[in-house]
């Protein structure tokens, strides 16, 4: 039978070995900790902006062929659709007409140069021929750029320049290598210029977008780790927002996932935990040591928190400050050392003894 002890003022709960066995007390050593894990937060998987493209119809027309569908891999420059566009014929015709006029002007310039050297024509006529050739060369370049804006690839323009053969079929190319996330149209649909056809994304790396309550931002900084608890992978924080979202009073924290991104899909919600620095410093500015213990080691009395540290003849009652609560553990600050042994079971009986129970 234990003797009653005075309440919190007691420094030691006296217990012999037999009483410790009766209380079924287990001990564990505290682990040094300089960071804590947050509670679990939902996070949405998103594609980084720089890796996402919307493919739109460069000209109005009728969608003749769709060559890929949602979920397919594409390579940069691959033809993913074909559009029949009467407007394209007109643009090509103007380009070919410009080419023909430029060729005639270049032939005329070559003749005038020869005649001017022989003294047959005046220099003014040669200058007029040079000005006309430059004007037409500029016009052809402008019409070439119009073909590029219309969606023709460099190889298509080169083929048109060589063959002078007009076509109303406009091939649409993938701007990047990636996966087709969404198909927004169907074959035979009438399209206006700039109507979206596909969304294509490169899926490595990916982003996690996490709304963290504004009161839980302490210790979070760019570069901290973010752990995906079910997927068994991790990423790093790349941005911490400055705006508090009114709907949930959360701040957007964005992390980048490079390893294990193949397990994730855009739009998916996952559970994450964030690693946060303890953010506690002593009066001289030095970082204060934190200790990680199982949650069962803590004893609360009013607003104060304590642990029981094994000592000769019993257990010392040590006040601690709770710095963070994790899944099954806590991070505390207090008078602990790496070689201490802390009670993690039987603590209810220890508390009763400490507060004056039997």
Residue showing tokens 């649909």: 189
CB 8 within 8 A of CB 301: yes
pLDDT in tens, the chain (358 residues): 333 333 344 468 888 888 888 888 999 999 888 888 888 899 999 999 999 999 999 888 999 999 999 999 999 999 999 999 888 888 999 999 999 999 999 999 999 888 888 888 888 888 999 999 999 999 999 999 988 888 888 888 999 999 999 888 889 999 999 999 999 999 999 999 889 999 999 999 999 999 999 888 888 899 999 999 888 899 999 999 999 988 788 999 999 999 888 999 999 999 999 988 875 554 455 556 789 999 999 999 888 999 999 998 899 999 998 887 777 888 898 899 989 999 999 999 898 888 875 4
Nearest Cα residue to 196 out of 99, 63, 102? 63
| Spatial contact of 273 and 50, defined as CB atoms under 8 Å apart | no
Please return the burial class of 279, using the count of CB atoms within 10 Å of its CB with bins 0-12, 13-18 and 19+.
Answer: middle
Structure token digits, residue 132 = 């006309």
For residue range 116-131, list pLDDT tens digits in order. 888 888 888 889 999 9
Please check whether residue 224 is in contact with residue 274, taking contact to mean a CB–CB distance below 8 angstroms: yes
Find tokens 């004056």 and name the residue: 356
Cα separation, 210 vs 207, in Å, equals 10
Cα distance between residue 318 and residue 310, in whole Å: 10
Against a cut of 0.85, is the pTM above it?
A: no
Taking the C-alpha atoms of residue 312 and residue 20, their distance in angstroms, rounded to an integer, is 12
Q: What is the pLDDT of residue 145?
A: 92
Locate the DSSP E strands across 111-205.
169-173, 178-183, 190-191, 196-201
pLDDT of residue 286: 54
């Amino acid at each position: 039978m234990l003797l009653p002890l005075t309440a919190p003022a007691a420094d030691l709960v006296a217990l012999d070995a037999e009483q410790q066995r009766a209380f079924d007390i287990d001990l564990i050593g505290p682990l040094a900790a300089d960071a804590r894990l947050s509670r679990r937060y939902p996070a949405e998987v998103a594609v980084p902006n720089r890796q996402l493209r919307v493919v739109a119809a460069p000209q109005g027309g009728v969608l003749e062929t769709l060559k890929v569908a949602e979920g397919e891999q594409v390579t940069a420059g691959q033809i993913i659709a074909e559009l029949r566009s009467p407007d394209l014929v007109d643009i090509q015709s103007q380009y070919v007409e410009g080419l023909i006029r430029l060729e005639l002007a270049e032939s005329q310039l070559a003749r005038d140069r020869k005649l001017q050297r022989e003294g047959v024509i005046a220099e003014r006529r040669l200058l007029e021929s040079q000005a006309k050739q430059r004007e037409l060369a500029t016009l052809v370049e402008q019409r070439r750029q119009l073909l590029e804006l219309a969606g023709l690839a460099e190889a298509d323009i080169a083929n048109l320049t060589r063959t002078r053969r007009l076509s109303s079929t406009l091939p649409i190319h993938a701007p990047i290598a990636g996966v087709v996330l969404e198909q927004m149209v169907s074959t035979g649909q009438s399209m206006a210029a700039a109507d979206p056809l596909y969304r294509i994304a490169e899926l490595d790396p990916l982003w996690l977008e996490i709304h963290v309550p504004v009161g839980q931002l302490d210790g979070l900084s760019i570069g901290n780790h973010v752990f995906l608890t079910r997927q068994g992978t991790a990423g790093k924080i790349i941005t911490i927002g400055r705006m508090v979202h009114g709907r949930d009073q959360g701040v957007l924290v964005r992390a980048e996932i490079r390893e294990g991104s193949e397990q994730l899909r855009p739009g998916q919600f996952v559970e994450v935990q964030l690693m946060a620095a303890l953010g506690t410093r002593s009066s001289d500015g030095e970082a204060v040591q934190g200790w990680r213990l199982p949650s069962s080691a803590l004893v609360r009395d009013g607003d104060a928190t304590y642990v029981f540290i094994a000592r000769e003849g019993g257990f010392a009652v040590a006040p601690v400050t709770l710095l963070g609560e994790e899944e099954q553990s806590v991070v505390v600050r207090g008078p602990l050392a790496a070689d201490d042994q802390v009670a993690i079971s039987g603590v209810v009986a220890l508390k009763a003894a400490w507060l004056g129970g039997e």
